[in-house]
Homo-oligomer: A and B are copies of this chain.
């Protein structure tokens, strides 16, 4: 059977299709009497608006794109879990795209070069975009950026304060008496603004404590994943003067580093303490559990959606702003040791 249309409902209710539309959308004023008739007809036919038709007529798609580098990175899937229902509540669907960290793909998307699917706006977590690429984008695309790049005034940026979070993490290690603290995950500014900010926080914490930074303990890594963490740790442990702690720029890096440290026969945290970043569930179940910076993911997800929908709804482009989200430090076994009996 064909789905019932506005016309079918109108016929049954004895009104015009336009009036049914008004009732469905709550648009124009409608008398109580008419509304009742229409609503009854709607219910009787179990009418559902055809979203394709509605969106075509309205000239929008009703969809937003969420673009992340890797879908199987827990941080992103946890974030998506917050984004999808929020957008759905507000009448938008979410299309997910994964870039594999391919900068060319990211650039294409924000230029709307490949219109493989329709969307009204985008939440993007870039990995390889430099400022030039960001400037070259479609200026009419409502855009919210997560992580990495701070706003240049043409888009919104939602994220935690990487500098102070990183300072907190590093200070935590210093507070435990560690003095040779590695930083794993630094990246050149062009592709990793967030990484740069974290390194800055790391330096500030040292300065705060009156400690010098051993530059050779700052390890660059192309990505924030397990293998990078493991490699970096192996490299650090091969030194004559290995570190006694490491601030890892993601929990995955920390988990990789942990694996490498344990494989090398070290005890964590006794021989080397580790702290990560992101607070993914996995870090709460590893052995030992991973201390971490926990960003307020629920707020980030909700804010990103809300800001994006505001931009989409705005008749003229809104100025791009920085939206801060909170974070807190969660100390677990990888820095504190097995304190509790549990």
Contacts and interface: CB of A to CB of B under 8 A. Distances in A.
A181 interface: no
B72 A281 contact: yes
Contacts of A96: 80, 84, 94, 96
Contact of A285 (B56, B98, B259): B259
A230 B287 CA distance: 13
Contact of A52 (B74, B118, B226, B285): B118
Contacts of A255: 282, 285
Interface in A45-89: 48, 50-53, 55-56, 61, 70-72, 74, 77-78, 80-81, 84-85, 88
Contacts of A116: 88, 93
Interface in A17-50: 48, 50
A47 B116 CA distance: 12
A25 to B, nearest CB: 16
A263 interface: yes
A258 interface: yes
A52 to B, nearest CB: 5
A315 interface: no
A78 B117 CA distance: 22
A161 interface: no
Q: Which 10 A-B pairs have the closest CB atoms?
A: A72-B77, A48-B115, A52-B56, A93-B117, A77-B77, A226-B285, A262-B287, A259-B285, A72-B78, A51-B118
Contacts of A176: none
Contact of A74 (B48, B72, B88, B230): B72
Interface in A213-271: 226, 230, 255-256, 258-259, 262-263
A15 interface: no
Interface in A82-112: 84-85, 88, 93-98
Interface residues of A, number: 43
Contacts of A11: none
Contacts of A287: 258-259, 262, 286-287
Interface of A: 48, 50-53, 55-56, 61, 70-72, 74, 77-78, 80-81, 84-85, 88, 93-98, 115-118, 226, 230, 255-256, 258-259, 262-263, 281-282, 285-287, 342
A286 B287 CA distance: 8
Contacts of A61: 52
Nearest to A258: B287
A332 to B, nearest CB: 12
A84 B117 CA distance: 12
A290 to B, nearest CB: 12
A303 to B, nearest CB: 19
Contacts of A84: 71, 96-98
12 contacts: A48-B115, A52-B61, A70-B81, A71-B80, A71-B84, A84-B97, A88-B117, A93-B116, A226-B281, A226-B285, A259-B285, A262-B287
A237 to B, nearest CB: 13
Contacts of A226: 281, 285
A98 B258 CA distance: 32
A61 B94 CA distance: 15
Contacts of A85: 98
